[in-house]
Amino acid sequence: MAHAELDRLQACLNIALDTLRKEMDNSQLPPLSQHSSVDHPLDDPMTYLPSTALFNARRLSLACLGELRNLIQPPLDKRMDEKHSAYGAASIDTLIKTSIIDYLADLSDPSEGIPAAELASTFELDSQKLVPILRCCAANGWVRETRDSSFALNRCSRAFIKGRAGRKLNLSTPGLLSIIGAMPRWVTESDWKLSRSPAQTAFQIAFNTPLPLFSWIEQNPQTLIPRAGHFQVIGDVSTLSIVADYPWKQLETPIIVDCGGGQGGLVTAVLDA
């Protein structure tokens, strides 16, 4: 019996992983490990630009995993994963906002982990609430349970330590989940389901306001702080590749007009290149 799709995905994934391994060796990068207590260069696209082959191998590996999951995962399990994904986002946000991530990173032996009861006592939290949150984070790879109800930080979580740019990216935008929750009603049930007006969207339903998004932000400027940090990180993630991929020095004009709404990080990087 031929398993054409499965065979193609397996072959594609094997090629991608072999290339990934080869390119990491060529770039003299250390092996990847979830349990490492130090950052890996590939974790920070703001400071490390991989080779084109390494970038493509990484992208292809992840794409194959996604397609493999679509192929073999039971549809009901897939739907439940999607339904509960918001809990995963809220759980890692909890570890960040309480500074539990910083505490785990600063342990004398980060790989050993620490009992959840001790974390609860340190941060004045309820351990019975904290353990499920930590286990949700463990299921998503942010932490690991080293022994029953004891947890250690995984390497990927170091991106959200205090002072890192990722800290801004992972702060939830206030009201985001409310907008997501209002989307089905907006599309199928509301009086606006056939409207394309920017003043008649899921945002207005979620926030109970007649104002378009940017008008609402003007009246609530405090919301700009997490939004600005969030979008700055998104932009900075691609700066190195934009600078490297385009022949900026070959432009016939020395003048570059920055039409963005940020802090000029991209245009500054282009001028410094």
Residues 118, 150 within the same domain: yes
Q: Is residue 55 part of a domain?
A: yes
| % of the chain exceeding 90 in pLDDT | 70
Q: Is residue 102 part of a domain?
A: yes
CB 159, CB 172: distance < 8 Å: no
Q: Is residue 25 part of a domain?
A: yes
Residues 96, 63 within the same domain: no
CATH of the domain at 138: 1.10.10.10
Show which of 169, 192, 207 is a domain's final residue: 169
pLDDT mean across residues, the chain: 92
147 forms beta bridges with: 150
* Cα–Cα dist 251/243, whole Å: 13
The number of domains in the chain is 4
For residue range 184-235, list pLDDT tens digits in order: 999 998 899 999 999 999 999 999 999 999 999 999 998 887 777 778 888 8
Residues 25, 97 within the same domain: no
Give, rounded to a whole angstrom, the gap between the first and last alpha carbons of the chain: 56
Q: Is residue 143 part of a domain?
A: yes
pLDDT of residue 264 exceeding 80: no
The encoded tokens of residue 169 equal 């990216």
150 forms beta bridges with: 115, 147
Residues 132, 68 within the same domain: no
The encoded tokens of residue 58 equal 């990484």
The encoded tokens of residue 232 equal 């700055």
pLDDT of residue 170 exceeding 60: no
| pLDDT value of position 108 | 92
Residues in the chain: 273
Determine the average pLDDT of the residues in 43-59. Answer: 95
Q: Is residue 132 part of a domain?
A: yes
Residues 159, 195 within the same domain: no
Question: The domain containing residue 48 runs over which residues?
Answer: 4-72
* Cα–Cα dist 262/179, whole Å: 24
pTM: predicted TM-score of the whole model, two decimal places: 0.87
| pLDDT value of position 130 | 97
Show which of 18, 48, 72 is a domain's final residue: 72
Q: Is residue 79 part of a domain?
A: no
Q: Is residue 78 part of a domain?
A: no
Show which of 48, 72, 96 is a domain's final residue: 72
| pLDDT value of position 152 | 97
Instruction: 30-35: list long-range contacts, CB under 8 Å, 24+ apart.
Output: 33/155, 34/141, 34/144, 34/154, 34/155, 34/156, 35/111, 35/144, 35/152, 35/154, 35/155
Q: Is residue 181 part of a domain?
A: yes
CB 91, CB 136: distance < 8 Å: yes
Residues 165, 98 within the same domain: yes
